[in-house]
Amino acid sequence: MTMPQPQPERMVWIRGGTFLMGSDKHYPEEAPAHRVTVTGFHIDAYPVTTAQYRDFVKATGYLTVAERAANPDDYPGARPELLVPSSTVFKRPDRLVDMHNPYNWWTYVPGANWRYPQGPGVDPGFIEDHPVVHVAFEDAQAFATWSGKELPTEAEWEFACRGGLDGAPYAWGDVFEPGGKSLANTWQGHFPYSNLLTDGFEWTSPVGSFPPNGHGLYDMIGNVWEWTTDWYQVHKESAQGRPCCASSVNPTGGLMQGSFDPRMPEIRIPRKVMKGGSYLCAPNYCQRYRPAARMAQPIDTSTCHLGFRCVRRRRENHKS
């Protein structure tokens, strides 16, 4: 089947409805599954591309977080070399490593940013039609505001990702690789050192390289994680004063002060929810290539596998 030519500017109308959000069968932070209602909204058919972000930067002169030096007051005790303009890049080890230590494959690379996803010494190749990466939350929000759009809530994003398949584990149904066919850009093999590349891609892929979901949305699973506007909280903690498993309308997540990482009390950087998984999600590690999957991401942190897409909503129907 020939894939249609991507049209990154295209948006898709998602008719509102009630769905089962979260999962009781996977990672603890996804539970409990609970009924949620969202009203209708438009959402980008594709993640925002490097070309689109380049247009934004040309028009505004915007400088991303990764292109600025960090404020040492925000990071007590940080080594000076970590405060220069930099971003987080995946570095594949050549052997089996301790899977409990993510620093075995993540490193801060000076000069890594949306223009040079693997760092300034690596030819980025043609990435204009790939999802833009190395964007912190405020970078994504700045683009959304400039384009007259907004970032989605977690509930909006998950509802759109499911493509009408309520409760299915994957955006396309019950089987991860039906007929042995890859339907998203993920990791095949033993993460982090052996990637079989059976889907054809080692890093990001051009948007629209895989089939759309039931709503006609591309790359909702894999390729890059995507920012949402929700402050991170576990589902069973309700910041809105209602039981976690009761139906809620247009939920907007937790409170900022509850989103800090309790494992790092000295670093007071709030966290947002990111969704969708990425090209680094693997069967043996981070099986988060599912609609229900979610992770907390510090708002100041950009990486080589995190991007975003935007929505337009009818404000009179959306509770803030």
Number of domains in the chain: 1
Run of H or E residues at 158: helix 154-162
Q: What is the pLDDT of residue 315?
A: 56
Q: Using omega within 30 degrees of 0 as the cis cutoff, is the peptide bond preceding 251 cis?
A: no
Please report, in tens digits, the pLDDT of each residue of the chain (320 residues total): 566 778 878 999 999 999 999 999 999 999 999 999 999 999 999 999 999 999 999 999 999 999 999 888 878 788 887 789 999 999 999 999 999 999 999 999 999 999 999 999 999 999 999 999 999 999 999 999 999 999 999 999 999 999 999 999 999 999 999 999 999 999 999 999 999 999 999 999 999 999 999 999 999 999 999 999 999 998 876 544 444 555 699 999 999 999 999 988 888 899 999 999 999 999 999 999 999 999 999 999 999 999 999 999 975 444 43
- CA separation (Å) from 316 to 29, 132, 248? 31, 31, 17
Q: Is 59 helix (H, G, I), strand (E, B) or coil?
A: helix
- β partners of residue 11: 44
- Let me know if residue 80 belongs to a domain: no
- Let me know if residue 53 belongs to a domain: yes
- Let me know if residue 81 belongs to a domain: no
Q: What is the pLDDT of residue 316?
A: 44
- Let me know if residue 233 belongs to a domain: yes
Crossing angle (nearest 10°) for helices 137-146 and 50-60: 70
Q: Which of 240, 57, 187, 233 minimizes the C-alpha distance to 132?
A: 57
Amino acid at 144: A
Pull the structure tokens for residue 173. Answer: 């149904």
- Let me know if residue 7 belongs to a domain: yes
Q: Which of 176, 174, 166, 153 minimizes the C-alpha distance to 229?
A: 153
- Let me know if residue 214 belongs to a domain: yes
178: Cβ–Cβ under 8 A, 6 or more apart, which residues?
A: 172
- Let me know if residue 78 belongs to a domain: no
Q: What is the CATH number of the domain that holds 204?
A: 3.90.1580.10
pTM for this prediction: 0.93
The residue assigned the tokens 């680094």 is 280
- Tell me the residue range of the domain where 140 lies: 1-67+86-260+271-320
- Let me know if residue 79 belongs to a domain: no
Q: Is 140 helix (H, G, I), strand (E, B) or coil?
A: helix
Count how many residues are written for the chain: 320
Amino acid at 25: K
Q: Which of 186, 166, 207, 199 minimizes the C-alpha distance to 284?
A: 186
Spatial distance between the Cα atoms of 98 and 105, rounded to a whole number of angstroms: 10
- What's phi and psi for 28, nearest 5 deg? -55, -35
